[in-house]
């Protein structure tokens, strides 16, 4: 019985590995901190041709609660949020959690460090990273 459970476990483990097929960007492409911890914020990464767009779900976080850094092709996003009642209020229900996360993403190609821009709107952090000249698609005309 347990051997069978183990078999299932292995099967799904294998499926996890092939879940993100695009561009060879497997979950293994993430450098650290993806051990299924719920405080790791959900992220989408898109290739927009000339740039990458990283979109992170960070509800309730303010500009001052976030720190973004980029080293080579590794983008790191850190955030902190303390939830609690305002002065004079008592807690009836507390489901939102305090956040303290640090997540790193390895980008699929080199980016131009100077052109990186980040915006925060409606609970989403959007980081726009223009690709380095060498990583851009270049059309070649045939003579």
Instruction: State yes or no: residue 62 binds other proteins (CB under 8 A).
Output: yes
Site string for other proteins, 83-112 (x = CB under 8 A): x-xx-xxxxxxxxxx-------x--x----
DSSP class per residue in 65-80: GEEEEEETTEEEEEEE
Q: Which is nearer to other proteins, 6 or 96 (CB)?
A: 96
Cα dist. 35→38, 41, 126 in Å?
Answer: 9, 12, 23
Q: CB under 8 A: which stretch of 57-65, 71-79, 111-119, 135-143 binds other proteins? A: 57-65
Q: Which is nearer to other proteins, 96 or 113 (CB)?
A: 96
Q: How far apart are CA 34 and CA 21, in angstroms?
A: 17
């Amino acid at each position: 019985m347990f051997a069978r459970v183990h078999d299932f476990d292995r099967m799904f483990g294998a499926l996890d590995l092939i879940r993100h097929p695009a561009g060879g960007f497997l979950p293994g492409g993430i450098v650290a901190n993806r051990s299924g911890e719920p405080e790791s914020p959900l992220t989408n990464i898109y290739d927009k041709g000339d740039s990458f767009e990283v979109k992170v779900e960070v509800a309730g976080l303010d500009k001052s609660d976030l720190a973004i850094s980029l080293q080579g092709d590794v983008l790191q996003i850190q955030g902190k949020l303390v939830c609690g009642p305002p002065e004079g209020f008592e807690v009836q229900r507390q489901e939102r959690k305090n956040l303290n996360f640090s997540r790193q993403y390895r980008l699929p190609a080199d980016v131009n460090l100077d052109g990186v821009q980040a915006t925060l709107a409606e609970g989403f952090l959007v980081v726009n990273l223009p690709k380095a000249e060498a990583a851009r698609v270049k059309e070649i005309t045939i003579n």
